[in-house]
Structure formats: C-alpha cells, structure tokens
Chain A
C-alpha cells in the first residue's frame, strides 16, 4: 500500500491560508490503512484546523468528507457537490489522489495535506516499512523476494558491500543489511547459486527517466 503521514497543523494552516471555505477530503483506501488520511484522521485534522483558526480569530469554515478512493473518477464524482461548495480542497489522499482531484476540478485549488512517503507494508502495529521503489523492472525473482533496489541503502544489485556490522546496515544501523537477508532467504529456499550471478547495470529507463510513466492495456481500452 501507499504509506503517507500528515503534515503539521501550522503547515496545513499556512497551505490553506486565504481561503474562507475549505473541504478536508479523506481517502478510504491506502491512507486509511496507514492511519494518515481516512475518516478518523479527517475528523481530527479538521477539528484541529478549526481550533487553530479560532485561536487566531480567523473565520475559516472547515468541512470534512471522506470518499472511497481519490485516485478514481468514479469515486471522485461522489464528492463533486461538496467540492463545488468550497473555495479550496485540502486532500488527505496520496500524491496521486491529490492530482486526480485537481485534474477533475481545474478551477479549484487542491492542496496536499499529507506527505506521501513510500510503497510499503504494515510491519507491526503502528509501524510501516518501505518495500518497493516502483522501479518498473522488478528483480525480486532473482533475490529471494527481497528487494535490493529498495532495501539496500546503496541500491546494490551485486552485493553485499562489505560494510555491514552484525547483520545491520552500515548506513543505518536500525535496518538489517538487505544483502544479509537476501543471502539467508536464498539459502533457505535452496537457491543460493543465484547470488553468484553478476547483474548488469540496471535499466533505469523504466523508472523515472523521461517523466511520469503510463501503462496501457489495449485489451481493456474502449
């Protein structure tokens, strides 16, 4: 899932400064699961903003709404009426959600209320970790399902670097060495010979080269 975290209330206040009617718009998908932009967080942030504006004596009406998914026009339509009533939208969706809302309502200022961080998993209660860098050319099959592009601090495809200490990364000792994990995993599944393969330089052309990426499925187009 996409993992994000909220901006601070002073940051949000600055962002929506100058508008009289603001809609805080939540998203019921990834950011709900990572406890950043779901219905409950929308209620908390909206209330906090109302408190902050009242405190400084500013008359700003902050209303709230959460839709099923902000990155899908079908669901965006369910918010259309409420969006039209307001001067600006503070989206608590991920970066894709914010842009989807902005594209659908070209005359309406749409602001990001979250910092979208990474694609990850719920590691344990209240802890999310990054697992995928969305490089566009997945190498997980060769590394026992552990991504060196994302989880090795040096993004090494031909590791380990030799700098790890007691199975911890030398760049960030809070993290395990990805190559140690890869070695253990390949050993456990009987594929240790894969570690001998010398990987050529990765084709970065499938990642952020040439701007944003598009995937077209002709079999689904109308």
Chain B
C-alpha cells in the first residue's frame, strides 16, 4: 500500500513455493492478504494488476525473470501510477 501510495507503478511480492515456506503457511496467508489489498486498491480506483504475488523458489531464477518481465509488460499496458501524475499537478498548484 505504502509503495503504491508513494508512486510505485507496480509491486511484485515473491514468496516461497506453496508448501515450502519456512513459516509453514506464512506464504499462503501472505497471498490471501495480498489479494485483500488488491481488492482495497480496486476500491481506491487503482488497477489491482499493479500488485501481484507469486510463489517461486530461490532455485527458479529463470521463472523469476519471466515473472518480472510479465509484470513489467502488465505495467506498461496499464501505464504509470496515476498518483504520480496527480502529485505533479498538486506540486504545480502549490508553486503557483
């Protein structure tokens, strides 16, 4: 939430593979929380695709790279975070 609020175009949360979490079900809970935040972002008028969680292991470098490129493509399609644009408008208004 903070990252999006501060102007990040997208946030990719990477957790361990399902069943492979050091904290047992921590990554499964995290996934549910991320989904809950996606719902809240949508309520705020922000594309929920800007936030995504993937389950990937430390040994899956290629998959991670693929996921990152996918995320970059998604962000390119939906464009920059609208909060950045609005912040600029606000700053300009303040300077006037």
Q: Does more than half of chain A's interface fall in helix, strand or loop, or is it mixed?
A: helix
**B5 at interface (Cβ–Cβ under 8 A)?**
yes
> Is the CB–CB distance between A57 and B43 below 8 Å?
no
> Is the CB–CB distance between A51 and B86 below 8 Å?
no
Q: Does more than half of chain B's interface fall in helix, strand or loop, or is it mixed?
A: helix
Q: Which residue of A lies closest to B89 (CB)?
A: A57
> Is the CB–CB distance between A51 and B44 below 8 Å?
yes
Assembled-state Cα–Cα distance A100/B82 (Å): 38
Residues of A within 8 A of B (CB): 8-10, 43-44, 47-48, 50-52, 54-57, 59
Residues of B within 8 A of A (CB): 1-2, 4-5, 37, 40-41, 43-46, 82-83, 86-87, 89-90
In the complex, 25 of the A-B residue pairs with CB atoms within 8 angstroms, ordered by the A residue number, are: A9-B40, A9-B44, A10-B43, A43-B1, A44-B1, A44-B40, A47-B1, A47-B2, A48-B1, A48-B43, A48-B44, A50-B5, A51-B1, A51-B5, A51-B44, A51-B46, A54-B83, A54-B86, A54-B87, A55-B45, A55-B46, A55-B83, A56-B45, A57-B89, A59-B90
